[in-house]
Structure 1
């Protein structure tokens, strides 16, 4: 920022950009007002030896420049070349102030030229850092001293240069500190997001493993699938394909698949007598996989715990919501009593549906168990 304040952030940090925007617009407005006030004071204070033919063109030029400075500063910021021209114009007015200011006001800090000196010092420090701003401000002070010979006023102007330079340095340092803290917070949030995504992917893979491969092995162990069953070979092939996709980076299958067909095929391979009532509907591949794995886990629980050979699977669509229910009339259980080391309900049913934006509910009692799975786009 040694070369001027620009209004476009241009990828810079937000606190510094906000400070630059405020200082540019405030500085441009203050300089415009100061120019109008100085012009009015110059005309109202017209007195010998000031020649109107010299003063009026100078005031007209001052007004034109003041209006341009305000427009440029408000629109584009305090551009380096604009500030440079401002320093030169004010210095020129200071050098020739004996032809522009009444003799009684020469050397008075309240003269219209003295007011412009103060405003130029402020504008320079708003636009530039202390390195170039202080020499530029002192140049204007020396020009005023040359034209007026007033050392007391020059001392006041030197104090103005130092005070505004210190103030803007503190403001810029505070903005830079805020930007560093914001950047650190943003980096921490990005790292936390990456870690959350990594854990989510890990949970998804663990859930898929439990809901598919391990669920099938448990059904074999419980006698729900015969070791020589053709359905077992088909299921194993599908699970191997899933594992291949996970090992290659978690790739998915087709965009949408017919959920009712996949559920019907899964019910036919379950080893139980499954009564189905399935409304045709297609859902995204990953959603279908979540439904299938959750239903497979629910059926596996029927095989392992319900002590029945019959269950029912229904698929309905209400509005945009897809609902799948798995019911049995076997021995119920209390979901709250399921040990923490048993992951079937929590991971392969409830958590698996949550991973695709759905939800699951398990209800159980003496008359049986109902697992309800819901998803909506």
Structure 2
């Protein structure tokens, strides 16, 4: 949801920027200075193209881009007397006023309230100062009140949306865990059925041979076969409890990758059998990693690889998206910490680490038998 909101905001900001450039050019009249207007519009057009690129490629909104946009809007506000005609200033309908509103909205969308509110107030204050410099007789306090209402409304709306998104993410996380448990249980039952079928067929074959009189006297071969059948039956009787029964990890991860929505997942998985609890932990972490790629990385492809290395079973999920800074994750982004790192690190002999940068993100998971 948040990704959709940010992409929409980027698209609206890009369209607004184009309208602003056209309006500023057509409305250039005294006392507008071409020496000021041309470079400022070139700067504004540059930011506009960046926003349009984000919206076109469906990439997430970058906080650094919003910070640059806010700084640019502040400069434009302070230079209003060189950029906006007097009639537009007096009417309160200048092209810069539209940019102020968009900057307030983008600050609320991109940042949490503790950052968004000071940034938006700075923009509103710069607009007030610029109006005073350009038209000292103009009443700016009504406009300031409107901007403050906009700030409060955007911050409140985004706070509610983020809380709703966190609740939705928690619900989806619980649903994903239930699906994983169902997949694990199904694979476990299939394995049990194969074992029972194998034992049944082997034992039945031995009894059939005895009943048909194939062995009419003591036979070392028969004794060996009976011993083998009894051993298989004892193993079946003494098999571990359900939550630690072995599971084919590669089969489980194949299903997890196939359920990833909005992603093409390239897989290279080695055959590996692990206890059920271990398989569930791997599946939960991989599910969250793939969901994060779909929601935040801005790409439509991912890679899922498993291997054995130095006695460990390792699983890696990688993408070529924009990456992120783990130290700056907001508190409501529980998925990375809880569903990936804590899930694997709380497993005996298990672990996880995430490396992320401008060339992509790699989630590494491991467990040592």
State the TM-score, normalized to the length of structure 1: 0.53
Match of 1:163 in 2: 153
Match of 1:186 in 2: 176
Alignment of 1:1-377 (within 5 A): 19-20=2-3, 22-72=4-54, 74-75=56-57, 76-106=59-89, 108-149=91-132, 150-213=140-203, 216=206, 226=216, 228-229=218-219, 232-236=222-226, 238-239=228-229, 242=232
Question: Cα gap change, 1:117/1:228 in structure 2, threshold over 3 Å: closer, same or farther?
Answer: same
Deviation at 1:89, TM superposition (A): 0.6
Residues 36, 63 of structure 1: 8 Å contact kept: yes
Structure-2 separation of matches of 1:210 and 1:64: 74
Residues 7, 54 of structure 2: 8 Å contact kept: no
Match of 1:309 in 2: none
Deviation at 1:108, TM superposition (A): 4.3
Structure-1 separation of matches of 2:103 and 2:227: 80
Which deviates further from its counterpart, 88-97 or 108-117? 108-117
Decide which structure has the larger Cα Rg and report it: 1
Unaligned runs of at least 5 residues, structure 1: 1-15, 252-377
Structure-1 separation of matches of 2:200 and 2:42: 85
Match of 1:327 in 2: none
Secondary structure of 2:124's counterpart equals: helix
Unaligned runs of at least 5 residues, structure 2: 133-139, 247-369
Structure-1 separation of matches of 2:155 and 2:189: 51
Question: Cα gap change, 1:46/1:198 in structure 2, threshold over 3 Å: closer, same or farther?
Answer: closer
Per-residue CA distance 1:254-283 (angstroms, 9 max, x = gap): xxxxxxxxxxxxxxxxxxxxxxxxxxxxxx
Question: Cα gap change, 1:198/1:158 in structure 2, threshold over 3 Å: closer, same or farther?
Answer: same
Per-residue CA distance 1:256-311 (angstroms, 9 max, x = gap): xxxxxxxxxxxxxxxxxxxxxxxxxxxxxxxxxxxxxxxxxxxxxxxxxxxxxxxx
Residues 25, 77 of structure 1: 8 Å contact kept: yes
Residues 141, 154 of structure 1: 8 Å contact kept: yes
State the TM-score, normalized to the length of structure 2: 0.54
Per-residue CA distance 1:58-95 (angstroms, 9 max, x = gap): 22332233223432565553222211111111011111
Deviation at 1:109, TM superposition (A): 4.0
Structure-2 separation of matches of 1:205 and 1:65: 64
Deviation at 1:182, TM superposition (A): 1.5
Secondary structure of 2:168's counterpart equals: helix
Per-residue CA distance 1:95-125 (angstroms, 9 max, x = gap): 1212221223226442101011011112222
Question: Cα gap change, 1:37/1:210 in structure 2, threshold over 3 Å: closer, same or farther?
Answer: closer
Deviation at 1:147, TM superposition (A): 1.3
RMSD of the alignment, in Å? 3.3
Structure-2 separation of matches of 1:227 and 1:109: 110
Question: Cα gap change, 1:160/1:107 in structure 2, threshold over 3 Å: closer, same or farther?
Answer: farther
